[in-house]
């Protein structure tokens, strides 16, 4: 599932995770359990990675604000008794 979401093959994703583990000299996943689980440091790394990805989306917001663009998601709720009219 993770490989699909990353648009890569499973062996490619596994290889990149292994390279990261080697570079950091830590184990992100505990592969001795089935299914595999994140180690404690792995959980912290994933949390930080999510923060980085979320903050990277702010770059487009900054550019849009600089250009004077006002936009985003707008939701409007209507109660069922008013909806037919």
**Phi, psi values for residue 45, rounded to 5°:** -65, -45
Q: What is the second-level CATH architecture of the domain 3-67?
A: Orthogonal Bundle (1.10)
Half-sphere exposure of 55 (CA within 13 A, CB side): 6
pTM for the model stands at 0.65
CA angle 28, 33, 38 (to 5 degrees): 25
Per-residue pLDDT of the chain (85 residues), as tens digits, is 889 988 999 999 999 999 999 999 999 999 998 889 999 999 999 999 999 998 998 898 889 889 998 877 888 888 888 767 6
Largest Cα separation within the chain, whole Å, is 64
């Amino acid at each position: 599932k993770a490989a699909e979401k990353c648009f890569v093959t499973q062996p490619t994703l596994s290889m990149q995770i292994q390279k990261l583990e080697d570079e950091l000299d830590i184990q992100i996943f505990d592969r001795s359990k089935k299914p595999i689980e994140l180690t404690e440091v792995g959980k912290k790394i994933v949390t930080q990675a999510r923060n980085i990805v979320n903050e990277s989306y702010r770059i487009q917001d900054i550019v849009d604000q600089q250009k004077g663009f006002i936009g985003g998601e707008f939701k409007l709720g209507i109660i069922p008794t008013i909806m037919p009219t």
